[in-house]
Amino acid sequence: FDQFSLSKEDLDDKIWYLKDGSEVEIEYYKEKPIGINLPIKMNFRVKKAEKGEKGDRVSSGTKPITLETGLIIQAPLFINEKDVVRIDTRDGSYVERAK
């Protein structure tokens, strides 16, 4: 594999979706790497989540959760620490609990 560097400005908000072992597509301009394209959906482990209230249901609201990369998103109340969730990388939205 080739190794190269990109600045935080090149990565923009995409930096929040990078983790060890991630496969991304590299954007080049005149043979120089200028950015990355992420998969549309990626799985992340939940690092921090407040406990939901008893009786929480799938449609009963959301709460902030922190992913393994430090990104904070809104997710359903039933999501707990150590769960794995699927995220839409285009807008950072929760998609589903990963199996």
Radius of gyration (C-alpha) of the chain in whole angstroms: 16
pTM: 0.82
Yes or no: say if 77 and 63 are a contact pair by the CB < 8 Å rule: yes
CB-based burial label for 66 (10 Å; 0-12, 13-18, 19+): middle
pLDDT in tens, 34-84: 889 999 999 999 999 998 765 555 556 999 999 999 999 999 999 999 999
CA distances from 17 to 32, 41, 90 (A): 22, 10, 10
Domain boundaries defined on the chain: 8-37, 41-97
* Best CA proximity match to 77, nearest among 56, 92, 93, 98: 56
pLDDT in tens, 5-42: 888 887 888 999 999 888 889 899 998 888 899 999 99
Q: Check if CATH label 2.40.160.20 holds for domain 41-97.
A: no
Instruction: Name the residue with higher pLDDT: 94 or 3.
Output: 94
